[in-house]
Every structure is written in structure tokens, then in C-alpha cells.
Structure 1
Amino acid sequence: MKSSEDLSIGELAERFGLPTHVLRHWESMGLLQPARQTGGRRSYGHADLERVALIRMGKEAGFTLPELRSLLSTASPMDHRDLLRHHVVKLEERISRARAAKELIEHALACPHSFAECEHAREQIAAHIPPPGDTPRSGV
């Protein structure tokens, strides 16, 4: 008899609003290890629910699947302090870029001038033009 926590891959996917192929991919990456029923059907219990929640939280925090595999490979994320510190630096950079973008948009909303007439906009545009011979980093 199936317990209330034993879920099929379809039930687990539906519960989290994910396509089943995502759960299969996470399994192939070593992030999930569901129990197998007779006939090889996957069976997910409460620990798997928690694991999927952790993976989703990690993805929301900006971790890649390989980084999450490392973080979740031990009982404590503190076993991976270097990875966590590096990620904090990356998050700070993203936050800084997001704040600058927000300020630019707020200025555009408040400024009565066109981009061509606004000194602030002209400075921002000029700052984003690479100097001659400089190869820009990819990323649009």
C-alpha cells in the first residue's frame, strides 16, 4: 500500500509546478536519488520533497546545478565555505547592477528631458561605450 508521502514522479512534479523532465535531469545530475518500486518506478518520500525544495531555493539564490550538487553532497553547506563566499561576491555584483538599473529607470521616469537632452542619460550612455580596441565581455 502506498503511504501518504510516497509520490510518483508526476505527483512530485505537479506539487512543485515542474515538468517531470526537470526531476529526471536533476536525478541524472546526482541531485535526486528516488527510491525505486517494483518495475523501476520512482517513488518520492518526504526527504525528496525537502530535497526538491532545497534545490529550488538554491536555484532562486542563483546557484548552478553543479554548485548545488557540491553544496548538497555533504550534511552541511558550511563544508563549502569557499563556494558560498564566491557566491556572495557574485550576488553583491548582481545587486549593485540591479540598483544602478533601478536608479537609471527612476531617473528616466522623473526626468522631463529626452535621452539626447538629459545630461545624466548622456553620461550613462557614454560610460557604456567600450573604448577602441577593448573587447567587451559577452552578456547582453
Structure 2
Amino acid sequence: MNIGDVAERSGLPPKTIRYYEDIGLVTPQRAANGYRSFRESDLHKLTFLGHARSLGFSIEDCRALLALYEDETRASSDVKRIAQGHLARIDQKIADLAAMRETLSHLVRECAGDDRPDCPILQGLEGN
């Protein structure tokens, strides 16, 4: 398969596929003319990577997960450890966003939103 074919089938843009090749996540074969030639195994890896990235896994997590995916002697505990770490980071981001929302909601509630110049939102952003 050429890059256009594998892009269509994996749902990833060609630019992303080239990036994944540049950083060593996939290694397509090269034809005599230098064009990439993707195998079914490359397509599976790219699809796997697309799903992992859509769940927010970092490139390094994806690298580790892909290595475990290809290792038939892997321990599922290694996979779970990576997923649990990512889940903890997601939970922290959710908590941070909730705190941001609460602070901003409070500031918005406190602002009259009228023609007066004093504004609790600006005062809150000022940090005083």
C-alpha cells in the first residue's frame, strides 16, 4: 500500500504517518524508487496508534504500548500500569479544569456586567 492507501484505511493524515515514521513508530518498506510501501502490519500499527492518540496517550506512552502490543510475552500488568498512569493524568486535568471553572464562575457571578468601570473579573485576574 502507498501512503495514500494506508492513510485512508487507518484514518490518519499522511503528514502524521510520515511523522510516525520519522520518530521510529513505524518503518515501512521502501521500493526501489524510494516510495514507501506499507504492509498490513504497518496498517495495524497505525490504526493502533490512531486509537491510542485519540485517547490522549503521549507519544512515549504510545511507543511503550506499541512495544507491548508487539510482544507476545508481555504482562498485562505492564499495559495496565501505563493506562493507569494516563488515567491519573486525565483525572488531574479534570480536577484542574473544575477548579478553573469554579473560579471563573465565581468571578462572572460577582461582575454586574453594567456600565460601571469596576469589574471583579479584572480584579480577579489582577490577583489582588
Same fold (TM over 0.5): yes
The verdict on how the C-alpha distance between 1:11 and 1:97 changes in structure 2, with shifts beyond 3 A counting, is same
Q: Does 1:41 align with 2:64?
A: no
Following superposition, the deviation at residue 130 of structure 1 comes to 5.6
1:64 to 31, 53, 58: 58
> Counterparts of 1:58 and 1:93 in 2: how far apart (Å)?
19
Asked if the contact 2:11–2:50 (Cα under 8 Å) also holds between the matched residues in 1, the reply is no
Identity level (%): 26
Partner residue in 2 for 1:116:
111
Structure 1: runs of 5+ lacking an equivalent: 1-6, 132-140
Asked if the contact 1:27–1:33 (Cα under 8 Å) also holds between the matched residues in 2, the reply is yes
Which aligned segments of 4 or more residues in structure 1 are displaced greater than 4 angstroms?
97-105, 128-131
- Partner-residue secondary structure (3-state), 2:83: helix
**Matched positions, count:** 115
Aligned runs of 1:1-140 on 2, under 5 Å? 7-74=1-68, 75=71, 76=74, 78-97=77-96, 115-117=110-112
Following superposition, the deviation at residue 69 of structure 1 comes to 0.9
- Partner-residue secondary structure (3-state), 1:30: coil
Q: Kindly indicate which of the two structures has a greater share of residues assigned to helix.
A: 2
Partner residue in 2 for 1:135:
none
Which amino acid in structure 2 is aligned with residue 27 of structure 1?
E
> Counterparts of 1:114 and 1:104 in 2: how far apart (Å)?
10
Partner residue in 2 for 1:4:
none
- Partner-residue secondary structure (3-state), 2:90: helix
The verdict on how the C-alpha distance between 1:88 and 1:130 changes in structure 2, with shifts beyond 3 A counting, is farther
Structure 2: runs of 5+ lacking an equivalent: 113-119
Asked if the contact 1:13–1:19 (Cα under 8 Å) also holds between the matched residues in 2, the reply is yes
With normalisation by structure 1, the TM-score equals: 0.58
Indicate the larger mover: 34-43 or 23-32.
34-43
- Partner-residue secondary structure (3-state), 1:72: helix
Asked if the contact 1:13–1:23 (Cα under 8 Å) also holds between the matched residues in 2, the reply is yes
